[in-house]
């Protein structure tokens, strides 16, 4: 079928979409409106949970065939013609060693983290950042075909991607997207979302519709000549994404260094508290962080004692980085706030909420844990008039160096609170 128009106006674009939607053999009627399509969203999500679990448990295996990933991708490939061949990108090609997620454990873990993040995140910013983080690992053979996995998690954020869709995009927009490059996919995605927003009344919030439209153009069902394309400045689009990716990479490196240090200290305190016989609580928003071969919250309390849960300050207290509780009484013995590079203000507020909001935990010892080089800064912040009430609390400082140097000995020979107090310094002096 030939869509014979020259530089289509907005109205003409709408007419093209309507003509496509009325075509009984095109993807809109044969796939997008297919009743079975939506049923696959839930099963694919469950399948990706299984992939993440198997990788984390190191039971994923070293081949595509028979893996949980094959089950998921097979479900996608069954989604009629638009996803035909979706499994090709994930087939293990031993001579090329692609995609390199079957025999390289670190690549497997990066892939699992990518999927796990996208399973739980809720915004387009988080999804794009997860994509950029995966791309930064430069895993051979693992490219924008992953968008087909993400589409079934975030259909309003991520459009499907394959050769025909890219060809259709290039033809319709007069662009030059190269298949297999994440930056080019992200630039294409931005243009697709912009076009979809403009024509949402005729398309859908679900980006599968616009992807189907481009698929039918790219697969040759419709013909659009170069002079009929919607005019876009593709080079400018791509340059913008390159700049955003570079800025995001720089910010990610800085944030990653902070997060890794913060998480590592929490992990040390978790393991130390467990060794000394305490029950340990990890901040509710940090439990899922990767640490070692598992998660930071592994082996820790899943809920705080009833007295704290009943407190109006519960949500704030639950964000304290690490809590050590007496297993016999459930009382919080020690509270730790790790301040790697930020102000101590939020940590102090959480400690105050614990001390003032749950009086039965009076007597807890509070610690600010920070890099050795930050001791002067922490003391200066703590001395501010705004923190005058905090001086009533027993707040102490622990430097990373002292914790690193003594944690093994404390775990083996220490005597609970006394050993921790011995490596800490009072902030009231």
pLDDT at 382: 81
pLDDT at 392: 72
Asked if 223 and 303 sit in the same domain, the reply is no
Report d(CA 54, CA 60) in Å as an integer: 5
pLDDT at 199 over 50: yes
- Do 391 and 351 meet the contact criterion of CB atoms below 8 Å apart? no
Question: Is residue 4 a part of any domain in this protein?
Answer: no
Q: Which residues contact 46 (CB under 8 A, 6 or more apart)?
A: none
Residue 139 phi/psi, 5-degree rounding, is -80, 120
Asked if 231 and 285 sit in the same domain, the reply is no
Asked if 149 and 114 sit in the same domain, the reply is yes
Task: Name the domain boundary from 216, 243, 270.
Answer: 243
More confident residue, 352 or 406: 406
pLDDT digits (tens, 9 = 90+) for 372-412: 888 888 888 888 776 776 767 778 899 998 998 998 888 88
pLDDT digits (tens, 9 = 90+) for 175-188: 888 888 999 999 99
Asked if 164 and 309 sit in the same domain, the reply is no
pLDDT at 362: 62
Residue 398's DSSP bridge partners are 369
Q: Residue 31 to residues 212, 213, 281: CA-CA distances in angstroms?
A: 8, 11, 48
Report d(CA 249, CA 67) in Å as an integer: 32
Question: Is residue 124 a part of any domain in this protein?
Answer: yes
Question: Is residue 253 a part of any domain in this protein?
Answer: no
By 3-state DSSP, what share of the chain in percent is helix, strand and coil, each rounded to 5? 55, 10, 35
Tokens of 387: 């923190």
More confident residue, 44 or 57: 44
Average of pLDDT values for 419-424?
A: 88
pLDDT at 195 over 70: yes
pLDDT at 230: 58
Asked if 343 and 415 sit in the same domain, the reply is yes
DSSP string, 10-61: HHHHHHHHHHHHH-TTSHIIIIIT-HHHHHHHHHHHHHHHHHHHHHHTT-S-
Q: What is the number of alpha carbons within 13 Å of residue 218 lying toward its C-beta?
A: 24
Mean pLDDT lowest for which of 26-30, 224-228, 262-266?
224-228
Question: Is residue 248 a part of any domain in this protein?
Answer: no
Asked if 161 and 78 sit in the same domain, the reply is yes
- Do 276 and 411 meet the contact criterion of CB atoms below 8 Å apart? yes
Q: In a 3-state reduction of DSSP, which class is residue 279?
A: strand
Asked if 94 and 160 sit in the same domain, the reply is yes
- Over its C-alpha atoms, the chain yields an Rg (Å, rounded) of 27
Asked if 230 and 338 sit in the same domain, the reply is no
Asked if 29 and 95 sit in the same domain, the reply is yes
- Percent of the chain with pLDDT strictly greater than 70: 86
- Do 370 and 381 meet the contact criterion of CB atoms below 8 Å apart? no
Asked if 93 and 219 sit in the same domain, the reply is yes
pLDDT at 418 over 70: yes
Task: Give the count of beta carbons closer than 10 Å to the beta carbon of residue 33.
Answer: 12
pLDDT at 211 over 80: yes
Q: Across all residues in the chain, what is the average pLDDT?
A: 84
Q: What is the number of alpha carbons within 13 Å of residue 282 lying toward its C-beta?
A: 26
Asked if 282 and 404 sit in the same domain, the reply is yes
pLDDT at 71: 92
Report d(CA 404, CA 411) in Å as an integer: 12
pLDDT at 228: 53
pLDDT at 204 over 90: yes
Q: Residue 191 to residues 185, 197, 236, 346: CA-CA distances in angstroms?
A: 10, 10, 11, 40
pLDDT digits (tens, 9 = 90+) for 83-114: 888 888 899 888 888 999 998 988 999 999 89
pLDDT digits (tens, 9 = 90+) for 255-307: 444 445 888 999 999 999 999 999 999 998 888 888 887 888 999 999 998 88
Question: Is residue 168 a part of any domain in this protein?
Answer: yes
Domain residues for the domain of 325 are 258-426
pLDDT digits (tens, 9 = 90+) for 134-164: 999 999 999 999 999 999 999 999 999 999 9
Angle (deg, nearest 10), helices 68-77 and 35-56: 160
When pLDDT is cut at 50, 70 and 90, the band that residue 426 belongs to is confident
pTM strictly above 0.85:
no
Asked if 216 and 333 sit in the same domain, the reply is no
Give me the number of domains the chain comprises.
2
């Amino acid at each position: 079928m030939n869509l014979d128009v020259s530089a289509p106006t907005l109205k003409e674009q709408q007419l093209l979409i309507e003509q496509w939607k009325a075509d009984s053999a095109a993807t809109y009627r044969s796939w997008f409106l297919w009743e079975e399509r939506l049923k696959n969203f839930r099963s694919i999500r469950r399948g990706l949970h299984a992939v993440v679990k198997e990788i984390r448990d190191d039971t994923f295996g070293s081949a595509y065939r028979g893996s949980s990933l094959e089950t998921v991708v097979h479900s996608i490939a069954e989604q009629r013609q638009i996803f035909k061949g979706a499994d090709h990108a994930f087939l293990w090609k031993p001579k090329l060693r692609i995609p390199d997620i079957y025999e390289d454990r670190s690549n497997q873990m990066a892939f699992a983290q990518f999927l796990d993040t996208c399973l739980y995140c809720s915004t387009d910013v988080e999804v794009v950042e997860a994509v950029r983080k995966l791309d930064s690992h430069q895993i051979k053979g693992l490219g924008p075909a992953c968008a087909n996995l993400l589409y079934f998690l975030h259909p309003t954020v991520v459009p499907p991607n394959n050769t025909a869709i890219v060809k259709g995009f290039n033809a319709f927009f007069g662009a030059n997207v190269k298949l297999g490059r994440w930056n080019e996919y992200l630039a294409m995605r931005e243009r697709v979302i912009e076009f979809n927003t403009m024509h949402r009344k005729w398309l859908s919030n679900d980006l599968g519709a616009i992807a189907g439209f481009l698929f039918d153009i790219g697969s040759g069902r419709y013909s659009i000549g170069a002079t009929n394309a919607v005019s876009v400045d593709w080079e400018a689009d791509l340059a913008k994404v390159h700049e955003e990716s570079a800025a995001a990479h720089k910010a990610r490196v800085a944030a990653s260094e902070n997060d890794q240090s913060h998480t590592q200290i929490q992990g040390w305190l978790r393991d130390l508290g467990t060794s000394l016989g305490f029950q340990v609580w990890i901040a509710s928003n940090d439990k899922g962080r990767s640490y070692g071969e598992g998660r930071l919250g592994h082996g820790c309390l899943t809920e705080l004692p009833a007295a704290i849960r009943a407190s109006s300050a519960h949500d704030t207290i639950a964000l304290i980085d690490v809590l050590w509780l007496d297993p016999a009484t459930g009382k919080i013995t020690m509270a730790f706030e790790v301040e790697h590079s930020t102000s101590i203000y939020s940590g102090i507020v959480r400690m105050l909420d614990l001390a003032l909001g749950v009086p039965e935990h009076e007597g807890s010892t509070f610690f600010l844990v920070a890099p050795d080089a930050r001791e002067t800064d922490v003391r200066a912040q703590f001395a501010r008039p705004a923190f005058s009430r905090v001086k009533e609390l027993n707040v102490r400082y622990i430097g990373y160096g002292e914790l690193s140097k003594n944690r093994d000995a404390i775990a083996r020979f220490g005597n609970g609170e006394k050993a921790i107090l011995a490596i800490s310094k009072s902030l009231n002096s």
